[in-house]
Structures are given as structure tokens and as C-alpha cells.
Amino acid sequence: MPQHSTLCKVPVEILESVALEVAVADVTSSATRLTSLLRSCKHINSVLSFGRSNHLYARILRCKFDLTAPNRRIGSHILENEILAQQLRKYCINLQHIRRGDIFSPHILEIFWTSYLMLLDNNGKNMYHLDRVGLHDFVDRFVRTRVYESRWQNNGWPAENATNALALWILWMTTTEGELFRLSSNVPHSLFLHRKTAR
């Protein structure tokens, strides 16, 4: 069907630039602002949809999340637009899961794996987003509620599995020195001399 809106007659390259500005107006905000633009009409939704405009979503990822560490560790091939667009989608879905706060989610292992990798790659932006959706409180509730749920089959010890291991690593990586000192005033300061704080 013919499009009568002036905006629909704008070249795709210009629309992508507009969409990028909408999505990254605040670098530390979520990418959900783009949703309103995508819902404005079928034409814009079509030309800017995920999978059809990988270049746009790759640019959003570069603006909002940290890529320096994975690029250095894995190589420049990760900078391909399709891979970066998929990574943005994975990050956004993960942040939504954490925000919901369901520690009994069937996706809990994937949530922890993605969060752990985001923390490993953190140069400031990743941690901001994870903090904003409450990762520390989320994993703290999981550890206090679910880590020992299989203790009857393990002589009173937590099950040795990836989910529990990741939960404990994430809890450690998101706990500040100040929080540790508040938990125990007897923790020797020397324990922190070689620790890289996640925040």
C-alpha cells in the first residue's frame, strides 16, 4: 500500500540515523525508546525491524554496551553487524528477565551465564545496566533461597552445578568492599589487595 506520511518517504539510511538517536539519546538508558518509533507505522517497522537492519542494532550495541574486552579477547570478527545485533537482543532479553525478578525462571542458567559474561566484559556500561535492573539483589535472593534446595541429596551441601557456581561468582563480582565490611567487621583488608572490584 502507498505510504502518505512524509516520514515514510525518508531514505532508509536517514531513518536508521533517526532510530539510532532515539535509542541512544541517553547512553545509559535502555533501548526500549526505539519501540515507540517502530510502532509508528508498518513501513518504518518493516525497514527498521530486527534482522533487516543489523547495521542499526550493531551501532546501538556499540553505544550502550562494552565491546573493548571481547574484541581484544576474541578478535575483530565479533564486530560483524549480524553478530552484534544478536548480542544486543540477547543482552536486552537478559536484562528483562532480571528485572522481572523470577528466581525460579526456567531460563535461570542462561540468565546467569549471560550476566557473568557481561561482568567479565564490563568497562562501565555493562555494570550500569545490570545494576539498573537489580542483578545483585536478584542473585542474592537466589543464593539465599535456592542454593541449598538440593542439600538433602548432597549431605547438607549445595549441589555442585553450573547454576550455583555462576550465582556465587556473580554475587561476589557485584558485591562492593563496603558491603563486605558491613557484613563482617573482622574481614582483613589484605583480602582485597589483589581483588579487582566489578564496580
Summarize pLDDT for 153-174 with one digit per residue, the tens: 877 788 889 999 999 999 999 9
| Residue 192 pLDDT grade (very low, low, confident, very high; cuts 50, 70, 90) | very low
Task: Identify the pLDDT of residue 2.
Answer: 53
Same domain for 28 and 109, yes or no, is no
Residue with cell 541517553: 26
- 66 with 112, same domain? no
The angle that helices 135-146 and 125-132 make with each other, rounded to 10 degrees, is: 60
Same domain, yes or no: 125 and 40: no
**With pLDDT > 90 as the criterion, what percentage of the chain qualifies?**
44
Same domain, 117 and 167: yes
- Domain membership of residue 85 (yes or no) is no
Is the residue at 87 inside a domain?
no
pLDDT over threshold 70, residue 29: no
pLDDT exceeds cutoff 50 at 190: no
The total number of structural domains in the chain stands at 2
Residue 88 lies in a domain: no
**Grid coordinates given for 191:** 583480602
Least confident of 41-45, 134-138, 157-161, 194-198: 194-198
Residue 153 lies in a domain: yes
Does 94 fall in a domain?
A: no
Residues 107, 199 within the same domain: yes
The model's pTM: 0.80
21 and 69 together in one domain: yes
**157 CB-contact burial (10 Å; exposed 0-12 / middle 13-18 / buried 19+):** exposed
**Lowest-pLDDT range of 16-20, 78-82, 162-166:** 78-82
pLDDT at 31 over 70: no
Task: Tell me, letter by letter, the H, E, C secondary structure of 132-191.
Answer: HCCHHHHHHHHHHHHCCCCHHHCCCCCCCCHHHHHHHHHHHHCCCHHHHHHHCCCCCHHH
My answer on whether 61 and 111 are in the same domain is no
**51 shares a domain with 111:** no
User: Is residue 197 domain-shared with residue 115, that is, in the same domain?
Assistant: yes
Q: Is 154 within the bounds of a domain?
A: yes
Same domain, 54 and 127: no
- Structural domain span for residue 138: 101-199
Tell me if 86 is assigned to some domain: no
pLDDT value for 75: 65
